[in-house]
A and B are shown apart, each in its own frame.
Chain A
Amino acid sequence: AQSVAQPEDQVNVAEGNPLTVKCTYSVSGNPYLFWYVQYPNRGLQFLLKYITGDNLVKGSYGFEAEFNKSQTSFHLKKPSALVSDSALYFCAVREAPGNTPLVFGKGTRLSVIA
C-alpha cells in the first residue's frame, strides 16, 4: 500500500531564508508525487508534481522539489521564503498512472516570520 510521511507538523522560518518541507513516501511501483498548498478556509491548490525525468521539479510561486529515489523523499524547497508562503502544505503520492486517487500526508504548517 502507498503511504506518505511528513515528519514535521510545523516549520518556522524567517522571511528571506531558504525553506524546506520534508516528505518521504512508500510505494511498490514507480511513484507519482505531488505537493499541494492550503491557505486558510480554502481548498488545496496544486503546486508541482514529479512524474518522470529531471529529479528537480519547479512549480508555482517559486517552489521546487527534489525527487530522491534512494531516500524515497520528495522535499519541497524555496530559496527565499515570503510571509505570504505561510500555509499548510501537503505531500501526496499515487503509484499508478492516470486518475487514481492520491494518498496525502498529514500536512506541515509553514510559518514565515517577518
Chain B
Amino acid sequence: DAGVIQSPRHEVTEMGQEVTLRCKPISGHDYLFWYRQTMMRGLELLIYFNNNVPIDDSGMPEDRFSAKMPNASFSTLKIQPSEPRDSAVYFCASSLLGSYEQYFGPGTRLTVT
C-alpha cells in the first residue's frame, strides 16, 4: 500500500492567496484526520471525517479554513485568504474502523509570506 498521500509537499504563497492542500487516505480506511503542527502549539487536530462526513471541526481555527471529503479517497483543506500565522506543517492521517492506530502522511509544509 502506498500509505497516506499528501500534496503538495511544500507550498509557499503570499498573504491573501487561497491555498488548497490535498490528501488521499489509505484505501479502505473509514476515518480521515487533518492536523496542524507548529513549534508553539505542537500537533493540533483541525477536523476529522468518518465515511466522508465531518464529525468534529471544532479545531478549525476560523472561517478562513474549510475542509471537504467528496469521496472516500480524497480530501481537501482550504485556507482563504491565507495569513502568515497559517505557516505550519499540515498532516493528514487515516484509520480503519476498529483499529487504534492512525497512519500519517508526510505532511505539507506551508509558508505564507
Contact = CB atoms under 8 A, between A and B. Distances in A.
Given A101-B33, A107-B43, A43 B56 contact: no
A104 B33 CA distance: 13
A102 B95 CA distance: 12
Interface stretch (A18-26, A44-52, A61-69, A74-82): A44-52
Instruction: Categorize the interface residue count of chain B.
Output: 20 to 34
Interface stretch (B65-73, B74-82, B100-108): B100-108
Interface string A30-66: 0010101000011111100101000000000000000
Interface of B: 4, 30-31, 33, 42-43, 45, 48, 50, 56, 91, 93, 95, 97-107
Given A34-B101, A99-B31, A101-B48, 12 more contacts: A41-B106, A42-B107, A43-B104, A44-B43, A44-B104, A46-B103, A90-B43, A104-B42, A104-B43, A105-B42, A107-B42, A107-B43
